[in-house]
Amino acid sequence: MTTERISRLGHLFRQERLSTEVTDLFREIINDHYRENARILPWRSTFDPYAIYVSEVMLQQTQVERVRVKYEEFLARFPDITTLAGAPLHEVLAVWQGLGYNRRAVLLKKCAETLMERFNGTLPSAAEALETLPGIGHYTARAIAAFAFGAAAPFIETNIRTVFIHLFLPDRDRVHDREILPLVEGTIDHTDPRRWYYALMDYGAHLKRTHVNPSRRSAHHTRQAPFKGSNRELRSRILRAVMAQPGISGAGLADQLDTAITAVIDNLQQMESEGLITLQQGLCRIP
DNA sequence: AAGCCGGGGCG
DNA sequence: CGCCCAGGCTT
C-alpha cells in the first residue's frame, strides 16, 4: 500500500537520511506512481531541443493545460531556430497573446538570434552554456539538459519542491531550496534522468491536487499581488492597444516595447499625481 | 531577499 | 474573491 510506504519513508529518513534503503524506497514510490499516472504531453514525445526549449519557457509560471494549445500553435508558426530568429517581434508577440509574462516572448526571440550568432544556430547541450542565454535560468537550463540531452544535473521547480517537502520534511516550515537540492541530487535515478524528472514532476502535480499545496511551506513561497488594478493589468492593456496599431511592425518600436510601455505607465501615473487624469481600477479615465 | 514581470481557471 | 502556475531578472 502506498500510504504505508510513504509513512515508512518519512520514518526511515528521520533515522538514516538518504540511506540506500531510503533512496530505493523513494524511487519505488515515484516510479510506481508514474507507471500508472504518467501525463501524456506533446513536448514529452520529442527530442528536438528547440521544441523542448520552447515548452520550458512557456511552462515558466504557466499551467500545463494552458501551454498545450499554444505550444502547437507556436511551433507550427516558428518551427525552428532560424525561423524564430528571422521573424518580426510583433508576430511572435501576437502568437504569444494570452500566455502572459510577455517578456518571455521577447527573450525567446532574442535567444534565437543569439543562437544564430554565437552557437551556429543550435542549442548547446551543457547546462552552464544554456544558462548564459537570455530567458534561461538555473532551472530551465538543467531541464533542457535533462529532457533534450539526457543530463542528470539536479534542479528544483515547484512540483519537485512539493515532492521533497511532502515526503521528507512533512513537519517542517520555511524549507530552503539549499536543503532540498542535495536530496534531489542524492535520489536521482540515473538509468533514465529524463523519465525520472517527468515522474518526479508528475508526482508533485498529483500531490498538489490531493493535499494543501505543500510548496507553501517553502521558504521561497510568495503570493502574488492581485492582478486587478495592478501595473501588470495596465501593461497588458497598453501592449494589446499598441499591437492593434497597423504600423507596429516597425522594428524600432517593437524592440523597445517594454521600455515604451513602462514610459507610458510612468507618464500616466505622473499625470494622475498632477490631477490631470484619474487612474481607476487600472484603467485610464479622463475626468 | 524581495518585487516585479500576465493571464486564466478553479474552488 | 483568493489561489496558483515546469521561473527569470533586477534591485
A23 and A164 in a single domain? The answer is yes
A205 and A66 in a single domain? The answer is no
**What nine digits make up the cell of A211?**
493535499
A122 and A51 in a single domain? The answer is yes
A180 and A278 in a single domain? The answer is no
Residue A159 lies in a domain: yes
A108 and A206 in a single domain? The answer is no
Q: Answer for the pair A276, A284: CB distance below 8 angstroms, yes or no.
A: no
All protein residues with a CB under 7 A from any atom of strand C: A 39, 41, 43-44, 55-56, 59-64, 101, 107, 134-141, 143, 157-159, 162, 198, 201-202, 205, 208, 213, 215-216, 221, 223-224, 226-227
Residue A247 lies in a domain: yes
Q: Answer for the pair A104, A57: CB distance below 8 angstroms, yes or no.
A: yes
Tell me how many domains chain A contains. 3
Instruction: Give the nucleotide with minimal C1' distance to the Cα of A160.
Output: C6
Cα dihedral A260, A262, A266, A267, rounded to 10, equals: 20
A194 and A138 in a single domain? The answer is no
A135 and A156 in a single domain? The answer is no
Nearest to A127 by CA among A49, A47, A205: A49
A67 and A118 in a single domain? The answer is yes
**Strands A283-285, A278-280: parallel, antiparallel or unpaired by DSSP?**
antiparallel
Domain range holding A259?
Answer: 231-285
Closest residue (CA) to C1' of nucleotide C7 is: A60
A169 and A181 in a single domain? The answer is yes
Contact flag, residue A14 CB and nucleic strand B, below 7 A = no
Amino acid at A88: P
Amino acid at A19: S
User: Within 7 A of a protein CB, which nucleotides of strand C?
Assistant: 2-9
Residue A224 lies in a domain: no
Q: Which residues of A are catalytic?
A: 56
Last residue of a domain, one of A161, A187, A217: A217
CATH assignment at residue A187: 1.10.1670
Last residue of a domain, one of A217, A245, A272: A217
Low-confidence residues in chain A, pLDDT < 70: 1, 248-263, 265-266, 268-287
A129 and A169 in a single domain? The answer is no
Contact flag, residue A184 CB and nucleic strand B, below 7 A = no
A32 and A157 in a single domain? The answer is yes
Q: Answer for the pair A216, A207: CB distance below 8 angstroms, yes or no.
A: no
In the prediction, which pLDDT does A283 show?
34
A69 and A98 in a single domain? The answer is yes
Residue A226 lies in a domain: no
Residue A223 lies in a domain: no
CATH assignment at residue A81: 1.10.340.30
Last residue of a domain, one of A107, A126, A149: A149
